[in-house]
Chains A and B, each alone.
Chain A
Amino acid sequence: MAKIRDFDYEYFIGPQHPGATGNMSYHVWAEGDTIIKIEPNLGYLHRGFEKLTELRHWIKNFPLILRICVPEPDINEVLYAMAIEELNEIDVPERAQYIRIIVLELARLSAYLLYFGGVAGTIGLYTVPQWTIGDRDYILDLFEELTGGRVYHIYQTIGGVRRDIPEGFKERVLKTVDYLEKRLKDYDNLFFQHPIFEKRAKGIGIVDKDAALRFSVTGPNLRAAGVNYDVRKKEPYLIYDRFQFDVPDMYKDGDTYSRVMQRRYEFEESIKIIRQAAADMPEGPVNIKIRNPFEYRVKEGSVYVKLESSKGEYGFYVVSDGGVKPYRLHVRGPSFSHGLQLVRHIAKGTNIADISMILFSLDVCPPDAER
């Protein structure tokens, strides 16, 4: 660690949106405008979710648990349901699994659109967030039609989803993803091939392969460092093994540019998955009947379930003592590894003007680090 001298500058970046989708503060020491030390300061969004889940029945946790993450809440619901289903050995109906896939991939698209807008916003390209947030609203419209809620959906339940998809919903999903795919060309012109973006992002905030393994980096950030690892391929949850999709591996530098472009190509793969899921979806029931939800018990045991979220590997460690409430639930958010120890390492020596872009390109989301 560099020695802090009297004439070095001391900054507080945040807690109001320091380049992360939430309130989080970074304490920065800088020599001129070069960062010599950075210390994350969490606690602004700690709401005690893990404790609150221990006080509620299994089924009553669904409306609570998804509020952990605002940009992509569905992963929490699905993971929680997956944990219960694994402990109780429940077979989820086929149709429900296809609906879950569509919901998860639409959520990934919406999270990526928010991400593109956020990264562009941190370097002053303010048209991009206007466009992406607008396009994200078309996905939120679909969610509103499906579940009644735009951001928080409370759609998953034990052994399936709450209700079947409305008539004509699949066609509207396909229409929306067609539009988004067409729109990517506009984004290429507006943002991904923009000279300012290329100049600002290339070679900045490098997380190489060694650092990625050392700091437990997961998800698109790990793939942008040249490690082709995707939970959907390596440990297919739900029915991801039935779909044809690639994991893009063109980018291996691990810098901010690679991380953004990695997500830009994964966006196309998600669209492929949605098309296949909509085409193959069988008829049938969408959930299983639970006799009395308030007397619903989960078998004793512990389980670690994980899935590939837009930020990285998202996992729940759930312990049940055979009762009507969870005994312990630990949320493993990807931001806990991306936003703390990794930032302490990579932010050293970078310019203070780049720190927001680096943080946003890592997709640090303080809510899932603090819970």
Chain B
Amino acid sequence: MLKNGVLKMKNEEQIKKDIETTFGELVKVHIKRRHRIKVDAPKNMTLPILAYLKQRGFHQFTLLTCVDWIKKGMFELVYNLYSLDYNVHVLVSTHINRENESMPTAINIYEMAFDYEREIHEMFGVEFEGHPRLGEFLLEDWKGMPPMRKDFDTRAYVEEKFNVKDLTKELFTRKEQPYRGPGSNG
């Protein structure tokens, strides 16, 4: 079993070594478990890493997601790439400032990033430089703060949008209608 495990981790070790030798000390590579590698990269090295990995056979762009680390004042962008040959997911993570910092777009490397970047722009307010169409995606006529940010107050939004004065009172002390038998509700 151990031997089997070591054999199967060969791909991961090889990719780790290759990324480290190509990109130097600024890039931190961890093998989290079998099939998963996490790469922590500075912003300016993220796209070169993506281009390098695509060339290595990581064709599948599984997802792009964003985590709002509000206490640190940072957004973490995670690019998840997958290779059918190596059977490994590489999660390339980079941090940018929450305010006034943009990220260059990845659509020239991975076409699939197109809609993910639109979504993250809408939900977190991250700007992607060079993206041709960052605009309305899921939400319609949304003008306030991007809703997936941690400081977006869902309760205040509901109170304002649906004109509820006191949420706890109006929702939980609604008057019960007397039951009038089956088929009589409403």
Identify the A interface with B (CB < 8 A): 42-43, 46, 48, 50-51, 54-55, 213-216, 218, 227, 229, 234-235, 302-304, 313, 315, 317, 319, 327-328, 330, 332, 336-337, 340-341, 370
Contacts and interface: CB of A to CB of B under 8 A. Distances in A.
Contacts of B115: 336, 340-341
Given A328-B68, A340-B115, 9 more contacts: A43-B140, A48-B147, A215-B111, A216-B62, A302-B38, A317-B65, A328-B65, A330-B65, A341-B114
B67 A327 contact: yes
Interface in B21-57: 32, 34-36, 38
Given A46-B139, A370-B138, A330 B111 contact: no
A298 to B, nearest CB: 15
A43 B63 contact: no
A43 B139 contact: yes
A341 B138 contact: no
Nearest to B80: A304
Contacts of B62: 216, 313, 315, 332
Contacts of B116: 336
Candidate in A42, A50, A235, A328 with the most chain B CB atoms within 10 angstroms:
A328
A137 to B, nearest CB: 24
Interface string B132-171: 0000011110000001101010100000000000000000
- Judged by DSSP, the binding face of A is mixed
Nearest to B68: A328
A216 B147 contact: no
Contacts of B78: 302, 317
Query: Nearest 9 A-B pairs (CB), nearest first?
Result: A330-B65, A213-B59, A332-B63, A46-B138, A43-B138, A216-B60, A328-B67, A340-B115, A216-B112
Interface of B: 32, 34-36, 38, 59-63, 65, 67-68, 78, 80, 84, 87, 89, 91, 111-112, 114-116, 137-140, 147-148, 150, 152, 154
B63 A330 contact: yes
12 contacts: A51-B147, A51-B154, A55-B154, A213-B59, A213-B60, A214-B111, A218-B60, A302-B67, A313-B62, A317-B80, A327-B67, A341-B111
A203 to B, nearest CB: 25
Contacts of B59: 213-214, 216
Contacts of A332: 62-63, 80
B87 A235 contact: yes
B29 to A, nearest CB: 15
B66 to A, nearest CB: 8
Nearest to A339: B115
A304 B84 contact: no
Contacts of B63: 315, 317, 330, 332, 336
A319 B62 CA distance: 17
Nearest to B81: A216
A320 to B, nearest CB: 11
A317 B79 CA distance: 11
B136 to A, nearest CB: 8
Contacts of A327: 67
A227 B84 contact: yes
A319 B68 CA distance: 11
Contacts of B38: 302
A337 B82 CA distance: 14
A50 B116 CA distance: 15
Contacts of B154: 51, 55
A320 B63 CA distance: 18
A227 B87 CA distance: 13
A340 B139 CA distance: 16
Contacts of A215: 111-112
A46 B68 CA distance: 20
Contacts of A337: 61, 112
A51 B138 contact: no
A304 B36 CA distance: 8
A313 B87 CA distance: 13
A50 B148 contact: yes
Nearest to A40: B115
A235 B112 CA distance: 23
Candidate in B34, B65, B67 with the most chain A CB atoms within 10 angstroms:
B65
A313 B78 CA distance: 18
A50 B67 CA distance: 11
A214 B139 CA distance: 27
